[in-house]
Amino acid sequence: MVVPASRILDFSEAPIVDIAALVDGDPKGTQAVVREIAQACEHVGFLYVRNHRVDTTVLAALVDQAHAFFGLPTADKMSVAVENSPQFRGYLPLEYTGNEGPEGRNLQEGFIVMQDRPLDSRVPLYGPNQWPARLPSLKPAMLGYYAAMEALAFRMLPGMAMALGLPASSFAAPYVDPMLILKLNHYPPQQITSDTEMIGVGGHCDGSGFTILWQDDLGGLEIKNKSGEWIGVPPIDGTFVINIGNILQRWSNGRFSSTEHRVINRYGRERYSVPFFANPSYDAVLAPLPQLVDDAHPAQFGPYPVGEQMLSFYRNLWPSAGKNAGKSAA
């Protein structure tokens, strides 16, 4: 998959945007929120959102279950490994590497779910989730949070459309049957031996439309600016971090930026985070929006078949997915 180059932006921090008016449907207040979203997406590619109306008890339940899941014996976690799932659902063990080789080693373990769907040969990413038999309480906690994030994503979509000067409904059709992905991340304590050693996750841009991230109180998320500085995006109580992914950068003809970021666990403690990747429908084919293309701003990207590109991306990232399908019980 050809990944569009990110614009290197000049910023010193990620802004905080109060989105209460947007999620509550206040037309007058929404105008100011949209202006702030536009500034953040164009000039940073990251923003915090507060007053998002996500139930704190839903989040707390998920965090408790994330701790419980990653505390399970290795055999229980491996019983639901991604290697069992051709649809890329399940557990990713610590230091898992894809086709990029050892240099892509992440000091992180994860657990992935998407929407439960029946198997469909026409859509290779459709299929069931895996759930650990040892921890039945994980499923309702993850599905409850998944629903809360889906609702927040669909509140953000009109705001992002309006931030591009478009009607609020402009993003609705490509998201009619979205490919939404929820992932739990666990970073064990690491001893840093040099300033350049990769700890956590190395620099990358998300392949999503956009990402909604919860991070614990430890910190470690950093974004790269025009000067080559890594700027911290520390946890702020009551907020989520939202960042633009490669899909929305393409769709906006480069107006919104998918900014490089990384995670460095410098603190000698366990770190947890929960990203939610908001992707369009599998069969959506996106190109730069015609309203954002003119003589001064020619189209930077060609048509982008979302499902095909997502499948190629995940096959490259997790090449062992599904290799044990049918060999062991999920």
Q: What percent of the chain has pLDDT over 70?
A: 89
CA distance linking residue 90 with residue 114, whole number of Å? 10
Could you read off the pLDDT of 171-196 as tens digits, one per residue?
999 999 999 999 999 998 876 655 54
Q: What is the pLDDT of residue 330?
A: 41
Q: What percent of the chain has pLDDT over 90?
A: 72
* 10, 57, 257, 275 from 220: Cα distances, Å: 20, 24, 21, 14
Q: What is the pLDDT of residue 199?
A: 63
* Residue corresponding to tokens 């490919």: 179
CA distance linking residue 38 with residue 194, whole number of Å? 38
Q: Using DSSP, state whether 39 is helix, strand or coil.
A: helix
Q: What is the pLDDT of residue 58?
A: 98
CB 312 within 8 A of CB 93: no
Q: What is the pLDDT of residue 5?
A: 42
Q: What is the pLDDT of residue 192?
A: 62
| DSSP state for residue 84 in the 8-state scheme | G
Could you read off the pLDDT of 19-46 as tens digits, one per residue?
999 999 999 999 999 999 999 999 999 9
CB 287 within 8 A of CB 303: yes
CA distance linking residue 239 with residue 50, whole number of Å? 5
pLDDT at residue 133 above 80? Answer: yes
CA distance linking residue 4 with residue 205, whole number of Å? 10
Could you read off the pLDDT of 62-102 as tens digits, one per residue?
999 999 999 999 999 999 999 999 999 999 998 776 544 44
Average per-residue pLDDT in the chain? 89
Residues in the chain: 330
Q: What is the pLDDT of residue 193?
A: 59
pLDDT at residue 210 above 90? Answer: yes
Tokens matching residue 288: 């730069």
Could you read off the pLDDT of 235-286 as tens digits, one per residue?
999 999 999 999 999 999 999 999 999 988 877 889 999 999 999 999 999 9
